[in-house]
Amino acid sequence: MRDARRTSPRLKPGVKRAQILEVATEQFGRHGYEETKWADVAESVGIGSTALYHYFESKQHCLYEIIGKTVFEFREQFDRRVAEHDDWGEALVAVLRGGFNLTGWEILRLRVVTAEHTRLGVHSSLPREEAARASARANKRDLEFAWGTFLARGMEQGLVPERSPQLLTRAVIGLYNSVWVWYRPGGSLQLDDVARFYIERQLDILGCDPEDAARWLAAAA
Amino acid sequence: MRDARRTSPRLKPGVKRAQILEVATEQFGRHGYEETKWADVAESVGIGSTALYHYFESKQHCLYEIIGKTVFEFREQFDRRVAEHDDWGEALVAVLRGGFNLTGWEILRLRVVTAEHTRLGVHSSLPREEAARASARANKRDLEFAWGTFLARGMEQGLVPERSPQLLTRAVIGLYNSVWVWYRPGGSLQLDDVARFYIERQLDILGCDPEDAARWLAAAA
C-alpha cells in the first residue's frame, strides 16, 4: 500500500483506484456514508480532488462501485461454493457459512452496503455514476437469480418445501443483511455465535427438515 | 388539512407540526430522504424556512421524529395486542398480522424508517436534533425489550424453543424490516400475499411447532 501511495495515478490507475475504494469503504463503514467527506477520502489516499475525479465522478459513484463489487464477489463465491458440492444441502450450508467468513474490513463493507443499498433505486444524472449504479443493480439481480434457481433445485429434490423462490430468496438475504445493521466486532457477541444462530434461522426460513439440516451442518463442520 | 394550512403556526402549533411530519414522510418515502430538499417540504406546507425552523432544527431532526414516532406507535400497538389476548400464540399472531395492516402512507413511512434508521447511531451537535435522536433510540430499545420479554414468556410456556430472546427479537424484526426495502404497493405482489408469506417465515424463525402455529393462525382469522 505504501508503494501505491507514491505511484502517480497515470502509471498505475488500477492500484490507485483500488486504494481509493479500500479507504472509502473503511471511512464510510466507520463514520457513516453521509458523515464522510469526499475530500477527506482524497486526502487519506494523498491525491487532490481533480485527480480523485479522474477515478470517481462523485462520492456516490464510489459508493455504487463498492456495492457493485461486493455483490459481484458474493455472486462469485456463491457459484464457486455451489460448484464445489455435489450434495445440494452441503452446498447450501457452505454458502450460508461463507456469508459469515469475514474479515473486519469485510464487515465494515457489509455495513456500508446494507445501510446504503436503497440508494440504488434513484436514477443518477452523472453518466459514470449512473453506469456504476446500473451495474450494481444488475449484479444484485444476478445474485438473487442465482439464489432463486438454486432454491428451485432444492425444491425439485424435495429438500425445501415448494414456495415462491423469489420471496424465499428475499427473505433469506433480508435476514442476512439485517445482521450488519447492529453487529459490531469486539462487542459482547462473537461472530461465530452470531453465525451459528443466523445460519440456523436461515435454514428455518427455508423450511428444511431439521434432521437434513443437522446432517448438512455436521458434514460441513 | 385545508384548514390547517390556513392556520398560523402560533395558533395551532401541534397541527402545523403534524402536517410537516406528514408531508415530509410522504416526500422522503416517495423520492428518498437524501433526494428530498428541506425547502421543498417547507413550500409544500406553505411556510418559510424561518417558521420551519420553529418546529424542526433540520431535515434530520424531522427524520428522527418520524422514526421515533413510528417506533413508539409500534410499541403501543404491540402492548395493546398482547393485552387483548390471553393466549400467548394468539397474541403473537395478532402482533405479526398487525405489522402488515398498513395504509399506503404507513408503507411509505416504513420505507423511510427502515432505509434511514442506521443514522440513529451518529451523535448530533444540534440540541433538539440530538434529543429527538436519543428519544428515537430509546423507543427502539423499548420495543426490542418488549419483544424480548414477550418471547421469553413464550419460551417459559414451551411454545418457543429456548434461545437468546435478544437475538431472536433482532432476527424477527430484521426479517420484517427487510420487506420495506423492496415492497411497492401496486406492484405484482399483493400486500396480503406478502403478509401471509412473511408471517409464516417469522413463525419459522421463532421455531414454533407448525401445528401450534396453524391453530393460532386459524383462531385469529
Domains and CATH numbers, chain B: 1-55 (1.10.10), 59-220 (1.10.357.10)
Nearest chain B CA: its distance from A113 CA (Å): 12
> Residue B125: which pLDDT band, with cuts at 50, 70 and 90?
very high
Q: In whole numbers, what is the pLDDT of chain A averaged over residues?
A: 92
Q: Which of A35, A163, A204 sits opposite B122 (nearest CB)?
A: A35
pLDDT at A8 over 60: no
> Residue A6: which pLDDT band, with cuts at 50, 70 and 90?
very low
pLDDT of residue B84: 97
Assess contact for A9 and A47: CB atoms under 8 A.
Answer: yes
B115 contacts A175? CB cut-off 8 A: no
For the whole model, what pTM was predicted? Answer: 0.92
Instruction: Supply B215's cell numbers.
Output: 391453530
pLDDT at B109 over 60: yes
- Which letter does DSSP use for residue A158 in this model? T
Q: Collect all residues with Cβ–Cβ distance below 8 Å to A202 and sequence separation of at least 6.
A: A96, A172, A175, A176
pLDDT at A24 over 90: yes
With contacts defined as CB-CB under 8 Å, which chain B residues touch A147? none
Tens of pLDDT, residue by residue over A99-143, are 999 999 999 999 999 999 988 988 999 999 999 999 999 999 999
Is the complex ipTM higher than 0.85?
yes
Q: Mean per-residue pLDDT for B123-152?
A: 97
Range name among A6-15, B116-125, B154-163 with the lowest pLDDT average: A6-15
A32 contacts B122? CB cut-off 8 A: yes
Contact status of A121 with chain B (Cβ, < 8 Å): yes
Q: How many Å apart are CA B19 and CA A139, to the nearest integer?
A: 40
Q: How many Å apart are CA A123 and CA B67, to the nearest integer?
A: 25
For residue A30, what is the nearest residue in chain B, using CA coordinates?
A: B122
Q: Collect all residues with Cβ–Cβ distance below 8 Å to B91 and sequence separation of at least 6.
A: B81, B82, B84, B85, B150
- Which letter does DSSP use for residue B162 in this model? S
pLDDT of residue A86: 95
pLDDT at B176 over 50: yes
Contact status of B32 with chain A (Cβ, < 8 Å): yes
Q: How many angstroms from the chain centroid is the CA of residue B168?
A: 18
With contacts defined as CB-CB under 8 Å, which chain A residues touch B198? 171
With contacts defined as CB-CB under 8 Å, which chain A residues touch B174? 174-175, 177-179, 181
Q: Mean per-residue pLDDT for A37-58?
A: 92
- Please give the share of chain A, as a percent, with pLDDT higher than 90: 85
pLDDT of residue B121: 86
Assess contact for B124 and B130: CB atoms under 8 A.
Answer: yes
Angle (deg, nearest 10), helices B165-182 and B127-156: 120
Q: How many Å apart are CA B38 and CA A196, to the nearest integer?
A: 44
Find which of A30, A120, A170, A177 to mutate to test the B interface (most B CBs within 10 Å of its CB).
A170
Q: Mean per-residue pLDDT for A154-159?
A: 98
> What phi-psi label fits residue A116: left (phi over 0), alpha (psi between -120 and 50 degrees) or beta?
alpha
